[in-house]
Amino acid sequence: MLVALYENQFVDMTGESSKEQWYSKMRTGMLLCPVCKNKVIPKCGSKKVWHFAHQSQGACAGLHEAETNYHLMGKKSLFHWLMKKEENLYLEHYLRDIAQRPDIYLGEKNHAIEYQCATLNVDMFTSRIYGYQSIGVESDWIFGMKRIKKKRENLYSLQMTDLTAAKRDKTGKLYLNYFCPLQQQFLLLRNILPISQRKVIAEGYTFAAKNLELSMMFDSFNSKSYKYQNLLWNNQKKTWRMTAYKNVSPSIMYVKKVMYFNHRSITLFSPLAGMPSYNYYFIETSPYIWQSYLLFIIDKLSSPFTLQQLENECKRLMVKRIFQERKLPYLNGNYQCAIKGYLNYLESENIIEQINDIHYKKKRPVPYPKTLDEAFEQDKIFSKKAVIFDFV
């Protein structure tokens, strides 16, 4: 941590105090943790960012995970960057009502900013976000650049939990922000389309910290890469088709078996499946899997059928952990929104028609390719015809 109490005043490691001055304060025994009030010691070595550490290893409510040097450096850099743009800025401000200590707190805006570098499970992530929401504090997460890798143009690999912090910009597209303290550089990820637990299609915008305004962190950017998105998505569908037979995940094994016993191959799934329909990302399972299964269920149901029937079937598989719902606490929605969005897409393709709020009728059969070459061609045709990326 970078903040301590000394003589009941907050002191931090972002200023110009020397090593001797910090050790002098420590010898008084009055350097304390602002949360648990236990003694802390200054760590002023040559290898890590100067920081404070608890003298004893007792539990402290303000500590959530161990801090690496990269994290300390990033937190300090972000604080200095924000000091030039905001007033009433607090480093490691403790919010006693929820026992949380955001890395940076903007007092006037009641806004917490977390710099996340360590691995955090989804439940802990969502708990902290809901904690801020419970006391009316706005929150945003900036991730360490080490958590993201660029695979190729407009294709990135993230840590599995990063999407938990995704928000929508004013155009309704998902975004995330990353920062590297070593290069003093931001990467703003915009127009995000998740294609698996880790991989996303997105537009990345890089800025030097000195050239970036705080408002830009939450702004949308004019999309320039529809063709790239379309191409990358179709490439991903090709990969799904080519690798589905050897994939042994529970969801694929289940749907593969269902399709096999109904004389269909998972490799030759309908070109209408695996589409980024509106809100599709609320289901974490690959879209070609859950959408293929929904098409199978729709085919088996009598017409008209209900939205509730499809929701119940998806819920059944989620309880069995065959399908997985993606937790997105900043967004309004759940797996039901993903199903409804997909039905809207099928309606646009004239496969089904909505009769009323809950009933749909089938209009024409679901198309299935007979060969891989035919499948690849149909994938291109349907994605272009639907202008699918306008649905997201």
Q: Are strands 138-144 and 148-152 parallel, antiparallel or unpaired?
A: unpaired
**pLDDT at residue number 20:** 74
Same domain, 11 and 158: no
**pLDDT at residue number 83:** 87
Measured in whole angstroms, how far is the alpha carbon of residue 130 from the centre of its chain? 15
The DSSP annotation for 223-265 comes to ---HHHHHHHHHHHHHHHHHHGGG---HHHHHHHHHHHTTT--
Report angle CA 200, 328, 226 to the nearest 5 degrees: 35
Same domain, 11 and 31: yes
**pLDDT at residue number 63:** 62
Same domain, 211 and 326: no
- Rounded-to-integer distance, Cα 114 and Cα 102, Å: 6
Three-class DSSP category at 161? coil
- Rounded-to-integer distance, Cα 186 and Cα 56, Å: 36
Same domain, 211 and 275: no
Residue span of the structural domain in which 115 resides: 65-223
**pLDDT at residue number 304:** 94
**pLDDT at residue number 226:** 65
**pLDDT at residue number 388:** 47
Residues of the chain with pLDDT under 50: 387-389, 391-392
Residues comprising the chain, all counted = 392
Same domain, 166 and 250: no
Phi-psi label, residue 189: left if phi above 0, alpha if psi -120 to 50, beta otherwise: beta
Point out the domain boundary residue: 167, 191, 223: 223
- H helix or E strand, kind and range, residue 300: helix 287-300
- Rounded-to-integer distance, Cα 156 and Cα 167, Å: 17
**pLDDT at residue number 146:** 93
Three-class DSSP category at 42? strand
100-101-106-111 Cα dihedral, nearest 10 degrees: -30
How many domains would you assign to the chain?
A: 3
**pLDDT at residue number 49:** 73
Same domain, 6 and 78: no
**pLDDT at residue number 389:** 46
Same domain, 9 and 94: no
Bridge partner residues of 176 (DSSP) = 189
Q: Within a 10 A sphere around the Cβ of 54, how many other Cβ atoms?
A: 17
Same domain, 53 and 73: no
